[in-house]
Structure 1
C-alpha cells in the first residue's frame, strides 16, 4: 500500500473514531431523517435503492443496532477518504489538511447529526467524480471510463438531489479539465458517460412513472410551503451569503436541536474568510482548478435563491411552469459545490504557495508551515471542534423501552399481519422521551405487521396530504375515528410517549375504540363499531 493511500485510510478512521465515539453505546440510532430498529424499513424502487439494499443486508447480517452505525460511520469515512484520494499527489501536509476540511465542516456536520447520511455519501461521490475525471485525462482507457461511471452513479445512489450539481460540475470538467482533441480521451469519456446514462435508467424510470416517495408525482405536489420551510438559514447578524461561504445554512439549524458554531461564536466568519482566501490563492496558483471557484460561486448563488421573498416568488413561478424544478426544494444542498471547491483549492494553495514563493528551501518550508497552521486553525475553530465535540452528543444510540417490546410481542401474536394498523399520533416526526429530541417516527422499523404511517412533514402553510392528517388537524370530535374508518382501518397503535399521544388515545376511546393491549407508553386500540 502506498503511503498516500495509507494516510487516506488512517486519517478518516481517526476522525470517525473521535467524532462518533458515542457509537459504542447500546441501542439504535434514531435521528431526524434516519431511524433504525430490529426490523427493516419498507423500501422503494429509486436511485437510492442500491444503498438501501446494502443497509438492509447489513441489518440482516449484523442487526439494526450495527447497520445504523455502519451507515453513519461509513459515509463520514468515505467523504474523508475520497478527499484524500483526490489529493494524493499533493504533499502529505496538504493532503491531510484537505481530508480534515472534508470531514470537519458545517455542511457535513449538519447532515451527519440530522441523519442525512446519504447526502454525506453524495459529497464523497462528487469528489470521486473529480478524481475519476482526472484519471481519465491522464490515463484514458476502460478503467477510467468505469471509474467515471461508477462515481456518477454512486453520487446519484446516495442522493438523487445531487443530479443538478453533477451537471454543473460536469460542465466545468468538460470545458476546463479535458483533452477532447485526444481521440482516446474522447472515445473512453463518451463511452463512460454513455454507460452512465444507461445505468441511470434504473432510477429515472421509477422516478418518472412511479408514485409515492421520491417520484415525480411527489415532486410535483411540492408547494411554496416546501420552499419556505427548507430555505437556507441566515447566519446571526450577517445573513445568508456569509453563512453559505462558511458552509452553514442548512434548514434544520433553525430547529435548535444541536449546537451550530455560527450561532455560538461571533467570530466564526474569520475562519470562513480565511479558508475562502486560501481557496482564491489556490485558484491563482493552480490554473488547472481555477474554474472550480466559479462552480463554487454558482453553488452559493443557487443555495441562496429562496432565502428572500423575491427569490421565493421566482422559484414558485418557475415551479408552476417546470414542476421538476421542485426536486430542489432544499437549495442549500447546492453549497456542496462550494465545499468541493474548498477541498480542492485550499490544499492547492498550501502546495502552490510553498512551491512558487521564495527561492530557498527554508523559505518555502516556512511558507508551507504558516499556511498549514492557518488552514488547520480555520478548519478546527470553531466548526471543526464543534463537530468533534457535539456530533457524538446527537448521533448517539438509544434503547427502546420495554413497553415497546411488550407491544411488539402482542402485535406479532395478537394481530393478523395482513390487517392494516395505523400508527398514531399521525406524524412523520415525533418527539419521544427516550430519544430526547425530534426524530423520524421509528414505529415502522420496530413493530411487526402491516403499518400505516404518516408521510406528511406537516410544513407550516401546507395543506394536509391525506384524510387522516386532515382529521387530526381539524380538532373535531370523532373526526379522526371517522377518517380511520373511511380508510378501512380498525386497529390503531398509539404511542402515548409523545406530545399528543395520550390525547389521541382518549379521543379514540370516546368514539368507539376500545383497548386490546395497554402498556406504559403504547396502547393498541380496536374499533368496536366495525
Structure 2
C-alpha cells in the first residue's frame, strides 16, 4: 500500500512552516523593491535596450506564448497609460521576485526568507537584465521560486490537487517567458529523479508519482496548446524566430568569462551575460570590487546549508537539496555552452536535435537556475549557522547579541553582492521624457484619416537616443510603441554572425539606404504602402540629408528632434 512506503519525511505532511508570516515576506519585498526602484517613480518612461519606453501597448494579433501578457499590458495601458503600466510591471516583477523567493524557502523564520529574497533579487543577473530592458525575462524569473515551491509540494504529496497547481505555475511561466519552461524542465527532471531514488521502497512511490506527473503534463499542454501547437508547426512568430536561429546566434550570445578568473567563477557569481562585454553599462563588479571573496563566502554559506539539510533527517529535505544541486550543475554546464570545447559539444547536439532549445541562444539565462538554488541554500545555511552559534554561546544575552550580529552579516552579504542595483542602479537607469517634437509628429501623422504606413529612419534596429537618460541609451526603436499609426522600422540587430532579416519590407528599405540619393525613394516606398517618412535627429541622421531633394518626397513637418516627409510619387 502507498501508505506503507517509507519516503523522505517531506513526502507527506511537511514539518516545516513553509508560509511563515506572510506579511514579513511582503514587507521585506517592498523594502528591497523601494531600495532598488524608488527613483524610477519619478516622471518619465523607463527605457532599456529591449524595452524602448512604450507609450502604448498593442493587443496581440497572432498566437504566441506571450499573447496573454501582451493583452494584459495593453488593457492596463488603456486605463493607466504606458508610462505607469511599464513602471508597475517592472516594480511588480522585482517585488514578486523577492516575495516569492522568501516564501519558497523551506526553512521557517525571517532570516532565512529575507536572505533568500535578497540574494535572489539583488544580483548581477537581475542587474544586467534591467539594463537591457529584458523585463519579460525578469517577470518569468520572479515566478521561478513559485514553480519550485509547487514542484516540492508535488513530489512531497503526489496527488491531483498538487499536480494541477504545479501545472498552473508552469503554464504561467510559459506565458511570461518561453525560455524558463526549459529551465523548469531541467529542475523537474533533477528533483523527480532525486526523490524517486531516495524513496524506500522505490517502486510504490514511483507508482504514486507517475499519475500526478501525467496529469500535470496534460494540464500544462491543454493550457498552453494555443501557442504550443503553432510553435511546433512553425506557423507563429516564435516558430519562425526559432527556425531563423543559427550557430552564429549561439556565438553572438554566448556567456563571457572574467578576464582574470575565467568562465566558471564568472558564471557562479551570476555574471557572464553577453551584454556585459559591450561596455554600454557599468559592470556590477565596479560596485563590488571584492566580488570573488564575497562569492566565496556565499558558496560556503550555501555549502553549510546543503550539508545541514542533508544531515537533518527530521525535515526530510535531502532529496530536494540533491535535486537542486543536480539542477545547478546542469544549468552551469549549459550556461558555459559553447564558451568551452567540452560543453560546446553538448549544446551543439541540443541545438541540432531539439529545435526548441534554440530559444536558449542567450546562454546567460541559465544563471536564473543558479540564483534560485542560491536563494534556497542560503536560507538553510543562515538557519544552520545561527543554531550553531546559539549552542556555542551559553550566555542567553551574549547568545542573542552574537546571533543578531551574525544575522546582520548574513543579510549584508547579498546586499553587498548586489549593491550595484541599489538606488536605480546608482542612477544609471533613469526615467526619461520623449521630446516635444515626437508628440507633435504623432499628432500630424494621426490627423491623416488614411495614414498608410510610416517609415522611421535612421535605419537601425538598435541605436543611441539622446533623450534617454540611462547610462546605456542604446535601445530598440521606440517608434512602434510611441506613434499612433503603423510604422516600419529596421529589424536588423547588426550583430556579427547574425543574418539580417529577409522579408521584403526589410530588403527593400535596406536597399534604398544603401543606394542613398540614387534610390527612387518615393516610387519604391509608395509601392509598399508607405505614406510618410519620419527622420529622428539621432546618430547618423545627417546621412539622410538627401531626402530634402528626393523626387516624390515633401517635407511637411520639422519639429527640431524629428522631421516628417510625405510621399507623393511622380506619375
Is the pair's TM-score, using the shorter chain for normalization, greater than 0.5? Answer: yes
Q: Following the alignment from structure 2 to structure 1, what is the Cα–Cα distance between the partners of residues 159 and 23?
A: 26
Q: Following the alignment from structure 1 to structure 2, what is the Cα–Cα distance between the partners of residues 309 and 21?
A: 43
Tell whether 2:494 aligns with 1:458.
yes
What is the aligned partner in structure 1 of residue 332 from structure 2?
300
Q: Structure 1 residues 190, 361: closer, same or farther in 2, change over 3 A? A: farther
Tell whether 2:252 aligns with 1:235.
no
Q: Following the alignment from structure 1 to structure 2, what is the Cα–Cα distance between the partners of residues 135 and 463?
A: 45
Tell whether 2:40 aligns with 1:6.
no
Deviates more, 1:188-197 or 1:315-324: 315-324
Tell whether 2:207 aligns with 1:191.
no
Q: Following the alignment from structure 2 to structure 1, what is the Cα–Cα distance between the partners of residues 568 and 408?
A: 71
**Contact 2:119/2:414 (8 A) holds in 1:** yes
Q: How much has 1:492 moved relative to structure 2?
A: 3.5
Q: Structure 1 residues 250, 413: closer, same or farther in 2, change over 3 A? A: same
**Contact 1:282/1:345 (8 A) holds in 2:** yes
Q: 1:256 aligns with which of 279, 282, 288?
A: 279
Deviations 1:382-402 (A, max 9, x none): x32211134262442211111
Q: How much has 1:434 moved relative to structure 2?
A: 0.7
What is the aligned partner in structure 1 of residue 295 from structure 2?
272
Question: What 5-or-longer segments of structure 2 have no aligned partner?
Answer: 1-18, 311-317
Q: Structure 1 residues 511, 280: closer, same or farther in 2, change over 3 A? A: farther
Q: Following the alignment from structure 2 to structure 1, what is the Cα–Cα distance between the partners of residues 262 and 546?
A: 46
What is the aligned partner in structure 2 of residue 375 from structure 1?
410
Q: How much has 1:191 moved relative to structure 2?
A: 2.1
Q: How much has 1:455 moved relative to structure 2?
A: 2.3
SS in structure 1 at match of 2:55: coil
What is the aligned partner in structure 2 of residue 291 from structure 1?
323
How many matched pairs? Answer: 527
Q: 2:103 aligns with which of 85, 93, 111?
A: 85
Deviations 1:9-47 (A, max 9, x none): 111111111211122211222221113343224634211
**Contact 2:55/2:82 (8 A) holds in 1:** yes
Q: How much has 1:375 moved relative to structure 2?
A: 3.2
SS in structure 1 at match of 2:229: helix
What is the aligned partner in structure 1 of residue 66 from structure 2?
48
**Contact 1:22/1:392 (8 A) holds in 2:** no
Q: Following the alignment from structure 1 to structure 2, what is the Cα–Cα distance between the partners of residues 139 and 133?
A: 10
**Contact 1:496/1:502 (8 A) holds in 2:** no
Q: Structure 1 residues 374, 403: closer, same or farther in 2, change over 3 A? A: same
Q: How is 1:383-402 mapped onto 2 (pairs within 5 angstroms)?
A: 383-391=417-425, 393-402=427-436
**Contact 1:236/1:262 (8 A) holds in 2:** no
Q: Structure 1 residues 196, 442: closer, same or farther in 2, change over 3 A? A: same
Deviations 1:339-397 (A, max 9, x none): 1110111111122344467746749868855653443333122x322111342624422
Tell whether 2:32 aligns with 1:15.
yes
**Contact 1:494/1:505 (8 A) holds in 2:** no
Deviates more, 1:254-263 or 1:90-99: 254-263
Q: How much has 1:517 moved relative to structure 2?
A: 2.3
Q: Following the alignment from structure 2 to structure 1, what is the Cα–Cα distance between the partners of residues 126 and 460?
A: 27
Tell whether 2:457 aligns with 1:424.
yes
Q: How much has 1:8 moved relative to structure 2?
A: 1.1
Deviates more, 1:348-357 or 1:397-406: 348-357
**Contact 1:79/1:102 (8 A) holds in 2:** yes
Q: Following the alignment from structure 2 to structure 1, what is the Cα–Cα distance between the partners of residues 252 and 139?
A: 24
**Contact 2:57/2:74 (8 A) holds in 1:** yes
Q: Following the alignment from structure 1 to structure 2, what is the Cα–Cα distance between the partners of residues 138 and 12?
A: 27
Please provide the CA RMSD for this pair. Answer: 3.0
Q: How much has 1:140 moved relative to structure 2?
A: 4.5
Q: How much has 1:499 moved relative to structure 2?
A: 0.4
**Contact 1:232/1:331 (8 A) holds in 2:** yes
Q: How is 1:334-413 mapped onto 2 (pairs within 5 angstroms)?
A: 334-355=366-387, 359=391, 362=394, 372-381=407-416, 383-391=417-425, 393-413=427-447
**Contact 2:435/2:467 (8 A) holds in 1:** yes
Q: Following the alignment from structure 1 to structure 2, what is the Cα–Cα distance between the partners of residues 281 and 89?
A: 14
**Contact 2:251/2:497 (8 A) holds in 1:** no
Q: Following the alignment from structure 1 to structure 2, what is the Cα–Cα distance between the partners of residues 310 and 142?
A: 41
Q: Following the alignment from structure 2 to structure 1, what is the Cα–Cα distance between the partners of residues 194 and 389?
A: 26
Q: How much has 1:198 moved relative to structure 2?
A: 1.8
Q: How much has 1:472 moved relative to structure 2?
A: 6.0
Q: How much has 1:475 moved relative to structure 2?
A: 5.4
**Contact 1:398/1:434 (8 A) holds in 2:** yes
Q: Structure 1 residues 462, 140: closer, same or farther in 2, change over 3 A? A: closer
Q: Following the alignment from structure 1 to structure 2, what is the Cα–Cα distance between the partners of residues 407 and 328?
A: 39
Question: What 5-or-longer segments of structure 1 have no aligned partner?
Answer: none
**Contact 2:183/2:366 (8 A) holds in 1:** yes
Q: Following the alignment from structure 2 to structure 1, what is the Cα–Cα distance between the partners of residues 523 and 180?
A: 38
Deviates more, 1:315-324 or 1:395-404: 315-324
**Contact 2:255/2:363 (8 A) holds in 1:** yes
Q: Following the alignment from structure 1 to structure 2, what is the Cα–Cα distance between the partners of residues 264 and 359?
A: 36
TM-score after normalising by structure 1: 0.90
Q: How much has 1:252 moved relative to structure 2?
A: 1.8
Which structure has the bigger radius of gyration? 2
Q: 2:556 aligns with which of 509, 513, 516?
A: 516
What is the aligned partner in structure 1 of residue 180 from structure 2?
162
Q: Structure 1 residues 290, 308: closer, same or farther in 2, change over 3 A? A: closer
TM-score after normalising by structure 2: 0.84
Tell whether 2:476 aligns with 1:440.
yes
Tell whether 2:361 aligns with 1:329.
yes
